[in-house]
Amino acid sequence: MESVLDSRIVGAAPPVRKLTLRAGGCELPHYTFRGSEGGGDKVRIGFFAGIHGDEPAGTHALIKFLETLCGEPVLAEGYDLFFYPVCNPRAFAARTRLSPSGKDLNREFWRNSNEPEVRLLEQEIRTHAFQGLISLHSDDTSDGLYGFVRGAVLTRGLLEPALAAAEKTIPRNGKAIIDGFPAENGIISQCYDGILTSPPELHPAPFEIILETPQSAPMEAQVHAFAVAMRTILVEYQKLLAFAANL
């Protein structure tokens, strides 16, 4: 996957920079896309996928979205964007959900985990103090799109238009209970402990969105739905920033 990114993204687009985190025998490549100045302080947003190694759609979607940004850099105006397409590289290579030690890494964050991938990602999240975090997952029990919201009050206002745009490709899950949590029109405001999120002590709280596609949907449809949703979130947040600047 790293070589694919190198050939399709990095070599053709100066705004993209490739970096590699290393610890405990683990290598975790990631990429940054520096947008142009937008008239205020840059907003830092982290995009994460592949925390479960058997959910490749999110990884491919981040690649596709980086390609989109290279062709339409105006989408990144006012942003510094950080992409972590394979957060669990050893499980991704093995196509397994869990880490080699049998851990679900998305239950290990901010719990003094010894998992090297978690420690590397925690360091990145703490260092950059993201104002927004977007995580991509594929659910093998859902028959439609849905998402989780956490953090800033405005988060729901970003997720709703993102789901509305993405459901043109994959229908939204409209059930009252999704993944064991109460849901309203495909939006869940509770979630599991230990998920990839911002440090508990970070204030003000960033917006945090977890997007879920149904794993049963065709890969191409999942990738497109994710890419459309991420694009919509950036556009909607740009609108909110412009509105706030004019108050």
179-227 pLDDT per residue, tens: 999 999 999 999 999 999 999 888 888 999 999 999 999 999 999 999 9
Q: How many other β-carbons are positioned within 10 Å of the β-carbon of residue 118?
A: 26
Give the model's confidence band at 245: pLDDT under 50 very low, under 70 low, under 90 confident, else very high: low
Local structure of residue 205 (DSSP, 8 states): P
Is a pLDDT exceeding 70 seen at residue 244? no
What is the three-state SS of 35-48? Answer: CCCCCCCCEEEEEE
β-pair partners for 44: 80
Give 2's pLDDT tier (boundaries 50, 70, 90).
very low
pTM of the predicted model as reported, rounded to 2 decimal places: 0.93
The values of phi and psi at residue 73, to 5°, are -60, -15
Query: Tell me: the pLDDT tens digits for 30-75?
Result: 899 999 887 678 999 999 999 999 999 999 999 999 999 988 999 9
Q: What percent of the chain has a predicted confidence (pLDDT) above 70?
A: 91
Contact 45, 9 (CB under 8 A): no
The per-residue pLDDT of the chain, averaged, comes to 90
pLDDT in tens, 7-28: 455 554 557 787 787 877 788 8
Confidence of residue 247 (pLDDT cuts 50, 70, 90): very low
Which tokens hold the place of 103?
Answer: 């851990």
pLDDT of residue 3: 44
The DSSP element (H or E) to which 119 belongs, if any, is helix 116-128
Closest by Cα among 22, 210, 13, 24 to 115: 24
Task: Please say whether the beta carbons of 116 and 25 come within 8 A.
Answer: yes
Window from 41-50, 62-71, 103-112, 237-246 with minimum mean pLDDT? 237-246
Residues 153-173: tens digit of each pLDDT:
889 999 999 999 999 999 999
**Domains in the chain, CATH or no CATH each:** 2-245 (3.40.630.10)
* CA dist., res. 239 & res. 224, Å (int): 23
